[in-house]
A and B are shown apart, each in its own frame.
Chain A
C-alpha cells in the first residue's frame, strides 16, 4: 500500500464528514493505493457515530477507537502503529488543514525526503494569541535544532513509514518529530500548505507552552547524542570529577607556600572534603553510566542504523 492517512479526532463531530469527503476526493484522484485511519481519541460528543457512518462508505477506511482520551501524540502513534502504507500522512480533523495539499507532500516523499512538514504560510488564527507565540516558538526550535523550518506546529506532515516505526513516540513527541528526525540524519523538507480558519468546534491548544517546548527540545537534542552512548558521556563526567580530585589532593599534600593563609586552610579542610565527595561523585557517575548502557542495549543498534539501512536500499 502506498499512502496511509492518519487522523486523530477528539470531539470533531461536525468536521468529520466534510473532511472524509474531501479527503477521499483527493486521494482517489491521485490514483495510488491508500487507506484512511481515523483514531477516535475518546471523544465525548457524536464523533463515534460520525465515524461509524464513514465506515459504511468505503472499505479503505479504518476507525481505531481508543478506550479513553489518551492525548494527541498517543492517538497519532496508535494510528501509525496500525498503518500499512509506505508513506504516512498525519493531519488534523478540524478542517484547518486541506487534503488538497497531500499530493504535494507525497510528491516530496517520492523524491526521497524522509519527513515532509507543512508550512501554514498564511495562518488564519488570532495574531496575538496564536500566531505570535508560535512565531517565537518556531524560531527557538529552528535555532536549537538547526532544522530550518518555519512551522513546526503544523500537523499536516508526511513521513516515511520505516522511519516512524523507529521513533519513540511518547509525551509531546509529535511536535518535535521533524527536529528529532533531522538530528537522526533524516532529510527534512518543508512545503507550503493551505490553512483555513476553524469552522467547527474550538481549538484544543493552550498558549503558554513556550517554556516547556524549549526545555523539551533542549533535552531531546541532548538525548539524541547522549542516549546511544551513555557510558561515553557519563564516563567523561566522572573522569573530570576524578582529575579534579586528584589535582586537589596533590595540592593539599604538597602545599606550594605556607605563607598564604587561605591556601593552608584549604589544604587542611576544604581540599580533603572536596576530594572525598568528588571521588564519590566520580564513582557514582561511572556506575550510572554502566546502568544506562545496560538499560538501552536492546533498542540501541536498530535506532543507530536506521538511515544507513534505507540508503543502501535506495542505492541498490
Chain B
C-alpha cells in the first residue's frame, strides 16, 4: 500500500519476556480489527531476554501481508525500556502497547481508537470484570486504590499494559526506569487529555504469585518518586520545607517534654536517652529545610533553561490587515461564524493543519511541524 518508511496509522508495540508469545494470534486478531477500520498498521515485537532461537523463529513465521518488525536486546532490560525502544522505532501516528498474549477482547480496540479520535491523547484501559486469581486482583486493587489516593487521578487499572497514545505524548513525557505504568498519571499531569475505557478481560498468563519484598520496595520508591516528580519539581522547598518543619517540630516537642520532666517531675536530664534523639531531630529538620533551599536555588537559577511548554507548531500569518478596515468591521457575532473579516477570502481550514484533526483519518492527519 505504502512504502516501507511511510508513516502508519497505528503501531503496535509488544514487549516479549520469556518464551511465551502468541505471535500469530496477536497479529491476526488486531490486524483484522485495524483492517475493519481501514487503518494501516505495523507490529513491533521487542524481544527482551528471550531464548536465542526466538528471533530467527519469529522472523520465519512472519505472516504475509502484515508489517512486522522485530527488535532484540542482548540482555534483559525490563518492560519500560523495551517499550521505549519499541516506541523509538515506531512509525505510527498512534502507538498501542499490548501484552505478549491476547489478554483482552481485540474488538475493544475500537473503543480505544474512538477515544483517540475523540480528542484523547492517551487512552488507558480498565479490565473489567477481571478473570485472574483473587490474589492478583487484591494486589492490583490495593495498588490502584493507593495510586488514586496519592496522586489524585482517577484511573482504575494502571497495571493494564493495553494502552494507546499519540506520538507526541511519548516523545514529550519522560518515562524513566520502571515508570511506564505511571505514564497516564504523568501525561495527565503534563496537560494531556487522558481517558479510561473499560475492556473485557479474557485471560491472564503467569504473574499469579506474591512478589518478593524487593518488588514491593521498588514499587514503593517508584510511587514516591512519582509523587515528587508530579507535585514538587518546580517547587522543591514546598516539599522539603514541610518535611523539615515537621521533623523540627518533633525534635522540639521531645526536647521541651524532657525539660518539663526535668523541672516538674525531677527526672534528671542525664538519665534521658531521648535527649540525643530530640536534638538529632532538631538538626535533621534544619538540614532538610536547607537541602530544599539548595534544590530551590538550583531551580531558580536554572529556571530560564527549563521549558515548561512544548511547542507543537508555529504558524506565520499572511495577508495584510488595513487600518481603515477596522471601522466597518462586522461585529463579533458575524466574525465568529467563521467568515473572513471584511471580505478577506474565507480561510480554508483544511490547509492550515491547525485544528485538532482526528489523527487516525489519513486524509486530514497532520504531523507536527516543529517541536522543541
Contact = CB atoms under 8 A, between A and B. Distances in A.
Interface of A: 13-14, 17-18, 21, 24-25, 28-29, 42, 44, 48-71, 73-75, 77-78, 82, 165-171, 173, 215, 219, 223, 226-227, 230, 234, 237, 262, 265-266, 268-270, 273-274, 277-278, 280-281, 284-285, 288, 291-292, 295-296, 298-300, 303
Given A49-B355, A65-B311, A299 B321 contact: no
Contacts of A165: 304
A29 B323 contact: yes
Contacts of A59: 316-320
Nearest to B339: A53
A82 B314 contact: yes
Interface in B120-136: 121
Contacts of A234: 290
5 contacts: A53-B349, A54-B317, A227-B301, A277-B283, A292-B298
Interface residues of B, number: 76
A56 B319 contact: yes
A163 to B, nearest CB: 12
A9 to B, nearest CB: 12
Contact of A277 (B279, B305, B332, B354): B279
Contacts of A274: 279
A78 B313 CA distance: 12
Contacts of B323: 25, 28-29
Given A66-B309, A67-B371, A269-B269, A277 B290 contact: no
Nearest to B258: A270
B311 A71 contact: no
By secondary structure, the A interface counts as helix
Contacts of A74: 307-309
B170 to A, nearest CB: 12
B163 to A, nearest CB: 17
Contacts of B260: none
B32 to A, nearest CB: 32
Contacts of B209: none
B215 to A, nearest CB: 32
B326 interface: yes
A277 B280 contact: yes
Nearest to A238: B290
A170 B275 contact: no
Interface stretch (B92-100, B103-111, B188-196): B188-196
A133 to B, nearest CB: 21
Contacts of B268: 265
B220 interface: no
Contacts of B270: 265, 268-269
Q: Which 5 A-B pairs have the closest CB atoms?
A: A168-B303, A61-B317, A69-B191, A25-B326, A296-B301
Given A68-B310, A70-B309, A169 B303 contact: yes
B190 to A, nearest CB: 6
Contact of B283 (A53, A262, A278, A303): A278
Nearest to A212: B238
A67 B308 contact: no
A173 B291 CA distance: 22
Interface stretch (B43-51, B143-151, B175-183, B340-348): B340-348
Contacts of B338: 49, 53
Contacts of B297: 223, 226-227, 230, 292, 295-296
A215 B286 CA distance: 18
Given A29-B323, A170-B303, A281-B286, A48 B355 contact: yes
Contact of A296 (B190, B192, B298, B311): B298
A68 B121 contact: yes
Contacts of A61: 316-317
A49 B311 contact: no
